[in-house]
Every structure is written in structure tokens, then in C-alpha cells.
A = this chain, B = another copy of it.
Amino acid sequence: MPELQKIRLAVIDDDSGFVTVLSKRTESAGWQQRTVSGGIPPEELVAMKLNALVLDPAVLGEEGWNYLEQVCRKLPELGVIVCTTRSTVAQRVRALRLGVDDWVGKPCHPEEVVARVEAVLRRRRRAGPVPDAGPLVLGELEIRADRFEAFVAGTSLDLTRREFELLQVLADSAGRVFEREAIYQRVWGYAMAHGDRSVDVFVRKLRHKLEKRSPAWRYIHTHFGVGYRFDPEPLGGDEAEAVSSAEPADDLPPVHKSLTLK
């Protein structure tokens, strides 16, 4: 799962040993971590654009609860993990009700803290809006996964679900040759029965729709005895000129480009 953005974490704790070990761990995980002193006002936390905060309210003394409450109120989207020694059930319950996301007792293993931070953020992200995956552009073709549609020149190819999934699988690894079994496995989700021609049939449907909208390009290539490969290729000039000018009622099927064979 691609982590689209680094996790930004702040730690408020004066247990230098704990902080050091934790830092080492988060750093190797590629997170951006900063250790801050206790008194930092919530406004500055906002400016830090944090995803999560690990803190030991003990360093704040009396102000601990007050601070916790302020932070939870002003940054409701921030993941807050309390990590402290000695606590009662009542305290933990109070904190969780206040908006704290998790509470771990010290001493604790940094790995567990990391895992809990991840769990908190995972939950928060899923709740949030799905980030638009950028559309994939190949040749004249544009694939928008968020719409389950593919476009050429702004108009939809009007693909069915299977057609779209097939296109997606092939195009996601453009340039690579897939065996039929592999394609089937990824699109249909289970093993292909011997003699099943579904892949061929759908490749044909896809080719047909692609050719209709993008006649000057060749997208799906056949590897005889092997399978298929997706690779956008503009057709050579000789054939392209016929296309460019008038709408050729039905242009003859262009000559097959020679295929590389095993």
C-alpha cells in the first residue's frame, strides 16, 4: 500500500531514552518526527500539520489534562496517543472520552507505539474522503480508476466492468507481456479453466472499442503462443494519414506490426 505522504508525528515527552529509541524507529520507517517541549500551544501544533501526536501528559504536570482537552478540541483530526506511566481506569476512560485515540502504559515498546499510531491513522484515513488517484494516460487513452471509465479525447469508451478491469490490469503494467492464465487470474479472481477463451474474447472487445475511438493507435499486442501485452503505439505515418483527414468509412484493418517472438 503506497503511503502517499509521510506521516508527520510529534512527540511530547521528556524520557530521553524512550524518545531516542522511538525516533530511531520512526525514522527508519520514513516518518517525519519532531520532539517538542511540553509547553507548545495547540496553535503551533496546527502549524506543524501533524498527523499524530504521542505525548506523556506527565511532563506538563498540573496542566496535563487541560492541555489534552485543548488539543483534542482544537485538532479533532489529529491522532492522539497518550503514553505514560501509572494510570487508573478512570483516567484512561476520561482521556478516551476527551478525544484521545489510544492510551499505552509505560514502559512500552516503541514498536508497539508505532503500530498503535498506524492503527489510529489507518482508521482516520479510511473515514476521510478517498484521495483521487491521478488518471493514467497512455497514448490517446486516459484511464480514470475513480470513475471506472476510460476516455479518449474526453469521451468515454463506455466499457463494461470486465472490459475495464482487463484494461486496467494490462495498462497498469504497460509494456509487460501477460500470459492468459495470469490475466484471467487477476481479472476474474480465480484460476482459468483449460480451454477458456474469455480473455481472447474480451481482448477483442477492448480492441474494438479502442480502435473505434483511437484509430491511429495500437494498444494491445498479441504474443503468439504466449499472451498479450499493452503498449500504446502510434501507427506508422503511411496508415496514419488516411485516418487524419476524412473519416474513412471503415478503414481496413491495419497491417499487423511484426511481433517479437520467443
A contact residues vs B (CB 8 Å cutoff):
76-77, 79, 89, 92-93, 96-97, 99-102, 108-109, 111-112, 114-116, 118-120, 122-130, 146-149, 151, 154-156, 158, 160-162, 173, 175-177, 212-213, 223-226, 229, 247, 249-250, 252-253, 256-260
Contact = CB atoms under 8 A, between A and B. Distances in A.
Given A93-B111, A130-B176, A160-B225, 15 more contacts: A77-B126, A89-B108, A89-B109, A100-B119, A101-B119, A102-B102, A123-B123, A129-B173, A147-B177, A148-B177, A148-B223, A148-B226, A149-B177, A158-B257, A212-B250
A173 B252 CA distance: 29
A258 B126 contact: no
Contact of A250 (B147, B175, B249): B249
A188 to B, nearest CB: 14
A131 to B, nearest CB: 11
Given A127-B127, A252-B212, A161 B224 contact: yes
Contacts of A147: 175-177, 229
A210 to B, nearest CB: 12
A129 to B, nearest CB: 7
B253 A250 contact: no
Contacts of A112: 89, 92-93, 96
A120 to B, nearest CB: 7
Contacts of A247: 252
Contacts of A77: 126-127
Contacts of A176: 130, 146-147
Contacts of A126: 76-77, 124, 127
Contact of A115 (B96, B146, B148): B96
Can you list the 7 inter-chain pairs with the closest CB atoms, starting with the nearest?
Answer: A161-B225, A96-B115, A156-B258, A127-B127, A89-B109, A123-B123, A93-B115
Contacts of A130: 176
B128 A116 contact: no
B256 A155 contact: yes
Contacts of A128: 127
Q: Which of A125, A250, A256 has the most CB of B within 10 A?
A: A250
A150 to B, nearest CB: 11
Contacts of A124: 123, 126-127
Contact of A256 (B97, B99, B154): B154
A146 B178 CA distance: 9
Nearest to A116: B96
